[in-house]
Structures are given as C-alpha cells and as structure tokens.
Chain A
Amino acid sequence: MEEVEGLKYIAAALSIGLGAIGSGIGEGMIAAKALEAIGRNPEAGGKITPLIFVTMAITESTAIYSLVVSLIILFG
C-alpha cells in the first residue's frame, strides 16, 4: 500500500502545481492590463483598483479548484 500512498502525494503535488501555472499567467496579464490602463488614464485609478481584486479573485478560482482536489486527495 505504500506505492498508493506515494502516488497519492505525487498526485496531490501535481494537481496543485499544474493548476497554478494557468492562474499565475492569467493574473499577471490582469495586473499588466490594469496598470497599463491606469497609466494611460490616471483619473480612472479609483474605479479600476477595486475591479482588479475582483477579477483576480475570479481568475484565481481555477487554481483553487485544483487546490481543493489536491487537499481531498491528501486528507480525504
């Protein structure tokens, strides 16, 4: 049964590791575009800043799904 235990850990690690790639790239793009927009129009900074957090939270959700899967594998 130790192979199964080892495979569990490998599966959990792979799940979160691969899932975080897409989320990281996406959030970086969000931040870049947002900063570009603020640089082009500094007055809109007050409106854009809360939206940054909201969009980042939604983009992060796919990474969270893979995190939950890995937690379920580890602890469930």
Chain B
Amino acid sequence: MEIIKALGIDNYWVLIAQFVNLAVLLFVLYKFAYGPMMKMLDERSAKIAEGIKDAEKANKKLEETESREKDVLNKAKKEAKKIIAAAEEIAEKNKAEILENSKMEADEIFRKAEEKIEEEKNKLREELKKETIELVMMATEKVLKEKIDSDKDKEIIEKVVKN
C-alpha cells in the first residue's frame, strides 16, 4: 500500500530495530531502576508499618498504666472515706460520752452547791440564833437596868428561844 511507503515504514528491518531498542530500554530500566527501587519502597513501608505497630503497643501500655493508676487512686479514696467515717463515728461517740460526763459533773456540782447552800443556811441560822440571843440579852439588860449574869441570862433566853 502506498500509505505505508508514505509514512516510511516499508523497511521492516527498521521496525525490528526500533522494537529492539524499546525492549532494551525497558529491560535496563526494569533491572536497574524499578526492581531495587520498588524493593526499597517495600522495605520502607514495612518499616513504617512496624513503627506504627510499635507506637500502638506503646499507646496500649500507656492506657493500661493509666487505668491501673485510676484503680489505685479509687481504692485509696475509698479507704480514705472509710477511715474518715470511722473517725467520725468515734468522734460522735466521744461527743456523747463527753456530754454525759459533763452532765453528770454538772449534776454533781449542782448537788454540791445545794449541799453547800444548806450548810451555809444552817450556819447562818446558828449565827442568827447567836446574834438574836445577844440582842435579846442586851435588850433585857436595858430593861432590867442591870447586867445580870450572862450565863444565867443565856440560860433563860435559850429556854425562851427554844420554846
């Protein structure tokens, strides 16, 4: 056909030579560039994958440690609460005791105070009696215009006061 001649592909040796050129180029490129390059890319991606796995493992460990920490903290808090509760109870008990004790003491003091008052009252009465006796003696002395024997007076007046 004329078109093959016009395009210049009528000499088939030239076509074969061009094909051989292309094949040699492909072969050389494959052997020296793509083969080692792809191997290295594979190795690198394998390394990266390993690195990611290691990072994940480290992350997991970190999480575990954190959760364990939290557990320990929780337990410690619970213990602390228990201790506080126990201390509160004891404090309550102590309060009650102290209250009672103080009440009892207060009662005692009250009683003692009452006794003392009674004592004082008695003492006062005695003193009052004595003073009354002396006053009456002075009065009778004035009436009788004479100082009688204090003892005899005392006898008579005591008798009177006792009655």
Query: Interface on A for B, CB 8 Å cutoff?
Result: 72, 75-76
Contact = CB atoms under 8 A, between A and B. Distances in A.
A11 to B, nearest CB: 15
Nearest to A73: B6
Interface string B1-37: 0110111000000000000000000000000000000
A42 to B, nearest CB: 33
Contacts of A76: 2-3, 5-7
The 9 closest A-B pairs by CB, nearest first: A76-B6, A72-B6, A72-B3, A76-B3, A76-B2, A76-B7, A75-B6, A72-B7, A76-B5
9 contacts: A72-B3, A72-B6, A72-B7, A75-B6, A76-B2, A76-B3, A76-B5, A76-B6, A76-B7
A76 B5 CA distance: 8
Q: Would you call the interface of chain A mostly helix, strand, loop, or mixed?
A: helix
Interface residues of B, number: 5
A72 B5 CA distance: 11
Contacts of B2: 76
Contacts of B7: 72, 76
A12 to B, nearest CB: 13
Nearest to B6: A76
Contacts of A72: 3, 6-7
B10 to A, nearest CB: 12
A76 B6 CA distance: 5
Nearest to B4: A76
Nearest to A71: B6
Contacts of A75: 6
Contacts of B6: 72, 75-76
Nearest to A68: B7
A72 B6 CA distance: 7
A23 B136 CA distance: 158
Contacts of B3: 72, 76
Given A76-B3, A76-B6, A76-B7, 6 more contacts: A72-B3, A72-B6, A72-B7, A75-B6, A76-B2, A76-B5
B143 to A, nearest CB: 136
A44 to B, nearest CB: 28
